[in-house]
Structure formats: structure tokens, C-alpha cells
Amino acid sequence: MKIQERAGAGAGRTAVPAQPSVGDRLPTPPRERKPALAALAVLLILVGALGATMLVLRAGDRIEVVKVTADIQAGESVSDSDVSSVMVAADDGINYIRWEQLDSLKKLKAKSTIYEGTVVMGQMFTEGESLPAGKAAVGVALKEGQYPGDINAGDTVAVYNVDAAEGGSSGAGASSGPTSSGGLLTDDAKIATTATKSDSTVTTGSLSLTLLVDEADAAAVTRAASAGAVAVVHVPGN
């Protein structure tokens, strides 16, 4: 009888192994801490923040400088009407003309044409007259009909002797206009300055010009100008 009870008790057992109790689990290894990586991350954050701060401070370091609002031709000076102030980032490597230096700038002459919208730098100007190499400045006085009405400082023009085809003296049979290539004195003169319309064109129809011509052409243009026999025309494309 006891043998049967033991057999019956054994039949009710399963083959699943007994699980260890909670108190019997093996301890998990602690996570490995990496203080060097954490310090590096903090350092990178600080460097990035410092760089952003420097950029903001640099952008805020601005100065007031001179900008031209109209073309300034070679040999001309600036005036209050053709300059304005503009704020730019300070840079010791650029020779800006500060706004407070404007009075001194007015005493200088442009070395070459300075175009509208240009921020002025010191090397663009010089003391006294400044002419491009190989050029001479010639003054001419023109009557109405001897110049096109739309010419302005900076234009390139052709200059003709309208007294005679070969630039000689007037006389019987002399041409009244540039009827041959002999009347052409130069085809690449540059208008440096013009008289204001209030001074000339509106009141008398005459116009005074300062022309920049090659030194080799200066004598012929001067002779024709002194005889009142100069006419200018726009060169195609100007």
C-alpha cells in the first residue's frame, strides 16, 4: 500500500527544473563608467558656445565708413553730395576711410574711376593731381552742335577737328566738318569732367570739358581746341 502511494505522488511531478528563488540570482556586473568621454563632451560644448559668442561679438564690432553714391572720375574729389556713410565689420587689414575722416578725403584726388556703391579705401586717392600713365588732360570749350547732349563724365568719345579735314587753318574750300579720316584727332578720349548745366548748357548752349587723351594726341587736340574747332561724338558702345 505504501509503495502505491509513493508511485502516485511521483506521477504528479513535472520535468521542469526548479527556478532559483530571487535571493539566489547572480549579481550583474556594474556598468563601466568613462569619465574621459564625459569630460570631452563637456569640453566640446564649451568650445562651441565660446565660438558662437566670439562670432556674435565680432559681428557687433562695426565701424562707420565712406561709400560713394555717384561715380568719381580720375582726378576728381568727393563732395558731400556724392558720398554717404555705411556700417561695415571692423578689419585692421582693410584701409577703410572712416566717416569722421571725410573732410580730409575731400582734399584728395581719385587715382582712377571709382564707381557708385564702392566703399572707399585709402589707396584709391592721392594728394594733388593724378593722371593715368601716358595720358594728358586737355580742356576744350564746345558750342552747341559740337557735342551730343547725353555725354557725361566717364564717357569715351572721339575728337574731331571740324575746321579742316587735315586739321589745318580755315580758308577757301575748307571743310565745315570731319569729312575724312584726317579730321579725326583721337577716338578714345575720356571725359574727365564737365561743366555743370547751370553754368553752361542751360544758359548759353556751350559746354566745357576736360578730356584725358594720349600724350601723343594732346598737342593736336589742344591746337584744335584753341581754334574753337573741336567736336566730340560718342564712340559706338559708349
Give me the pLDDT at residue 198, please. 42
Domain boundaries, the chain: 62-126, 135-234
Tens digit of pLDDT for each residue in 92-133?
888 899 999 999 999 888 877 788 999 999 888 888 666 777
pLDDT, greater one: 205 or 98: 98
Residue pointed to by grid coordinates 559706338:
236
Q: Check if the beta carbon of residue 68 is closer than 8 Å to that of residue 124.
A: no
What is residue 143's predicted lDDT score, i.e. its pLDDT? 87
pLDDT at 159 > cutoff 90: yes
Grid cell of 100 as nine digits = 569722421
Q: What is the per-residue pLDDT across 68-87, written as a single tens digit (0 to 9) for each? A: 999 887 778 899 999 999 99
What does the block give as the cell for 186?
583721337
| CATH ID of 62-126, from 1.10.3720.10, 1.10.150.530, 3.40.50.1820, 3.90.1210.10 | 3.90.1210.10
- Residue 202, pLDDT above cutoff 50: no
Q: How confident is the model at residue 166 (pLDDT cuts 50, 70, 90)?
A: very low
Q: Which helix (H) or strand (E) segment is 70 a member of?
A: none
Nearest to 154 by CA among 215, 235, 67, 74: 74
The pTM for the full model equals 0.46
d(CA 166, CA 160): 10
